[in-house]
A and B are shown apart, each in its own frame.
Chain A
């Protein structure tokens, strides 16, 4: 079938690696780009930028609050700073600085949080960022992005350079299946419809986009037609795409590797409630912290794989 060949879901780079490479590329084009890290540059891949542009790399040590403040000052001085760390540290330890030094004065700082979600695996909950999208979205002036694969990350790093204003980009640790064609276009506030369908819509981001595709293919085998949308821009949201999905399929499942209480799902639900109310189900992390394990074990235990999306699809269809 055509769809199966389109979505080979071949493993690509981890989105954190795609970020590191795209940042070097962007740095070659734009001398104002500066990278900052807090002793995790080998993990966030800002080490690639540091190697090529040592004079434009600021190693802050393990001091995320200071890192975000320095980034704000660099931006005020005309630079385009990309501050990277594990998402949990950049967002949580830098949150007050993101609020007062970045969001409120609306300065041009880009924050990249790697090792998001629970798919980091063995390191466990202290390193897992399951609140980051909610926190980032709560900051006025911020654009919040969660690319699913290396194609999206590459494009969104460049889009972030071109965008004047604060941006948070979420990246993951494990290699990510490639869901996008190489020439796919991405923009702030955009989304990508990967499969069309009429019975329900599955809206996801990050690693859950590939799971949504797998789920849609499984549903298709049962004769259920599912639309799949990569909602990589959490803020601003592609309201038109959500409204169309609600109006045309009358049932929506949102799937994300984030707390369901504060992630993509509730934001999609707000648009649905404001436009074309319909039945919805939410696949994500419930009100809990995870544990150590392999990424795959964790995604299965915490309900973030294709069969969870299929089950949610059946539930939502039963309520339609």
Chain B
């Protein structure tokens, strides 16, 4: 893979990833398009610019770690993995099929380069803390990035982890909240509101940054700021749009967990041309 900090190049990769997400979920006939599309710039910026990793050497001890704690957004991770060269691109459309490496939720038994098997919400931040602590114990430069769903932070374990991370100086850890405002049953504000999100993390002694989660330059700057922040972890509150990039999916709770039809896929791909 070729890493780049060039925003236009990263945006082009993001568009390609969006196309693959729509295609693979359509072929699977089930899956979670909305929350995959909202996290595209976050994942692309990390894997193609920010993170220290090497698809040719996936178990490099000094690599940075990435955990998709909101495991239902697996398609965004699979597409990025394939674009990086960790996994075959020509099998993306076997998503969710029996025996396929692209399981319904990220499963490290099928893709050993995955850092964690996720899908049960609320667990990834604790696992990320453990990885960050292991790196500190071994005095390795590795940093750990954990992508959380907004609805996911309704889970109590997130706040156990937040309390721990804020106290123990885990400054090689970054949590990114994909704040797209929609969860399965509807709008977050109607289910169980989260605001003020950044202040909650600050109250737990995290360095918190609000940004436009679709702005690659903003993400690049925030990850650089996180790396400079010593003594405490960073929480990036990425304000995003669920279903971003496909007009009829944007801000539409229906596309949290419903696959597009073939016709919808064609329409979406035309928009993402």
Interface, chain A (partner B; CB < 8 A) = 34, 55-56, 58, 60-61, 63, 65-79, 81, 96-97, 99-101, 104-106
> Complex formed: what's the CA distance from A73 to B137 in Å?
13
> Complex formed: what's the CA distance from A87 to B92 in Å?
43
A79/B164 in contact, CB under 8 A = no
A70/B117 in contact, CB under 8 A = no
A71/B130 in contact, CB under 8 A = yes
> Complex formed: what's the CA distance from A43 to B133 in Å?
25
Query: What are 9 A-to-B residue pairs whose CB atoms are below 8 Å?
Result: A56-B137, A58-B133, A65-B156, A69-B123, A69-B126, A70-B133, A73-B131, A97-B123, A100-B117
A65/B116 in contact, CB under 8 A = no
Interface SS majority for chain B: helix
> Complex formed: what's the CA distance from A65 to B134 in Å?
18
Q: Report the 7 A-B pairs with minimum CB-CB distance, sorted nearest first.
A: A73-B130, A77-B134, A69-B126, A66-B160, A63-B160, A70-B130, A73-B127
Residues of A within 8 A of B130 (CB): 69-77, 81
Within 8 Å by CB of A96, from B109, B120, B127, lies: B120
A69-B161, A76-B116, A77-B134 as given contacts; A105 in contact with B108, CB under 8 Å: yes
B132 in the interface (beta carbon within 8 A): yes
> Complex formed: what's the CA distance from A81 to B172 in Å?
20
Residues of B within 8 A of A76 (CB): 115-116, 127, 130-131, 134
> Contact string, B8-43, partner A, CB cutoff 8 A, digits 1/0?
000000000000000000000000000000000000
> Complex formed: what's the CA distance from A96 to B115 in Å?
19
A65/B109 in contact, CB under 8 A = no
A74/B134 in contact, CB under 8 A = yes
> Complex formed: what's the CA distance from A107 to B138 in Å?
19
A65-B160, A105-B117 as given contacts; A77 in contact with B133, CB under 8 Å: yes
- Nearest chain B CB to A27's CB is how many angstroms away? 13
Residues of A within 8 A of B122 (CB): 65
B164/A60 in contact, CB under 8 A = yes
B129 in the interface (beta carbon within 8 A): yes
Within 8 Å by CB of A105, from B116, B125, B126, B161, lies: B116
B259 in the interface (beta carbon within 8 A): no
Residues of B within 8 A of A77 (CB): 130-131, 133-135, 137-138
> Complex formed: what's the CA distance from A97 to B130 in Å?
13
> Complex formed: what's the CA distance from A69 to B108 in Å?
16
B163 in the interface (beta carbon within 8 A): yes
- Nearest chain B CB to A168's CB is how many angstroms away? 18
> Complex formed: what's the CA distance from A76 to B138 in Å?
13
- Nearest chain B CB to A171's CB is how many angstroms away? 23
- Nearest chain A CB to B121's CB is how many angstroms away? 10
Of chain A, the residue at the smallest CB distance from B67 is A73
- Nearest chain B CB to A79's CB is how many angstroms away? 5
Interface, chain B (partner A; CB < 8 A) = 61, 108-109, 115-120, 122-123, 125-135, 137-138, 156-157, 160-161, 163-164
> Complex formed: what's the CA distance from A75 to B130 in Å?
8
Which of B61, B108, B119, B133 has the most CB atoms of chain A within a 10 A radius of its CB?
Answer: B133
Residues of A within 8 A of B118 (CB): 100
A77-B138, A100-B119 as given contacts; A69 in contact with B131, CB under 8 Å: no
A79/B161 in contact, CB under 8 A = no
> Complex formed: what's the CA distance from A81 to B122 in Å?
21
Within 8 Å by CB of A70, from B109, B115, B127, B163, lies: B127
B134/A66 in contact, CB under 8 A = no
- Nearest chain B CB to A63's CB is how many angstroms away? 4
B120/A69 in contact, CB under 8 A = no
Within 8 Å by CB of B161, from A34, A66, A74, lies: A66
A79/B163 in contact, CB under 8 A = no
Of chain A, the residue at the smallest CB distance from B167 is A61
Within 8 Å by CB of B134, from A63, A67, A69, A78, lies: A78
Of chain A, the residue at the smallest CB distance from B118 is A100
Residues of B within 8 A of A104 (CB): 117
A79/B117 in contact, CB under 8 A = no
Of chain B, the residue at the smallest CB distance from A100 is B120
Residues of A within 8 A of B134 (CB): 73-74, 76-79
A73/B133 in contact, CB under 8 A = yes
> Complex formed: what's the CA distance from A61 to B137 in Å?
20
- Nearest chain A CB to B216's CB is how many angstroms away? 28
Which of A34, A55, A68, A101 has the most CB atoms of chain B within a 10 A radius of its CB?
Answer: A101
A79/B137 in contact, CB under 8 A = yes
A63-B163, A97-B123, A100-B117 as given contacts; A69 in contact with B137, CB under 8 Å: no
- Nearest chain A CB to B128's CB is how many angstroms away? 6
Q: Using A72-B127, A79-B134 as known contacts, list a sample of 16 further A-B pairs with CB atoms less than 8 Å apart, ordered by residue number in A.
A: A34-B137, A66-B161, A69-B123, A69-B125, A69-B126, A70-B126, A74-B134, A76-B127, A76-B130, A77-B134, A77-B135, A97-B123, A97-B157, A100-B117, A100-B120, A101-B126
- Nearest chain B CB to A46's CB is how many angstroms away? 16
Within 8 Å by CB of B137, from A55, A60, A72, lies: A55
Residues of A within 8 A of B117 (CB): 100-101, 104-105
> Complex formed: what's the CA distance from A70 to B130 in Å?
4
> Complex formed: what's the CA distance from A30 to B118 in Å?
30
A73/B138 in contact, CB under 8 A = no
> Complex formed: what's the CA distance from A61 to B159 in Å?
12
> Complex formed: what's the CA distance from A75 to B132 in Å?
11
- Nearest chain A CB to B256's CB is how many angstroms away? 21
